[in-house]
Amino acid sequence: MYQYTIMLATPSGRTTSEDPVRLPARRADANDGFDAAFMDEALAEARRAAAEDEVPIGAVVVLDGRVIARAHNETRTRRDPTAHAELLAISAAARAAGAMRLPGAVVYTTVEPCFMCAGALLHARIARVVWAVRDPKFGACASLGAVLTEPGLNHAVDHREGVRADEARELLVAFFQKKRADARR
């Protein structure tokens, strides 16, 4: 059995992460090693975000087994609510590939994409997205919706969650604890 502590939104709207969620054991996936290694790259971007006083979310875009773009949240730095890690990474990847569509690309992000980012994943024709932790307040792929697999759309994005979840959660918790402590001063 794998064990992850996942942030869950309860029916009352409260968020809890008190109890570990046990996921059924699964056969090892051929992507397990790659997913962990590329998520480490996304976590490095998240650490850069935290160092810049941004919410610690990082993303990388992988095509043909290599990172072609990387980014972290820059919403505060740019004073731009759309400067999410995933959007910045997808934009950089499109420029690097010289195309607006990125078929075969995989996006690794430390937090479940929001509705805006999920829409960009679909428009870019990303093949797969892997995220570390769910976002119970804004997550559009599993928490609040299932945008990536909506049957009415002309493209679906395969996804996986929980890769390096503990590390991503620790970054987020530390960041927001510091913010709260600073606000009390």
Q: Looking at the annotation, which residues are catalytic? A: 86
Instruction: Say how far apart CA 162 and CA 103 lie, in whole Å.
Output: 23
Instruction: Say how far apart CA 172 and CA 49 lie, in whole Å.
Output: 11
Instruction: Say how far apart CA 126 and CA 89 lie, in whole Å.
Output: 12
Burial 46-73 (b: 16+ CB within 10 A, else e): bebbbeeebbbbbbbbbbeeebbbbbbb
Token match 């609040």: residue?
144
Which residues does 120 contact at the CB level (< 8 Å), separation at least 6?
Answer: 86, 87, 90
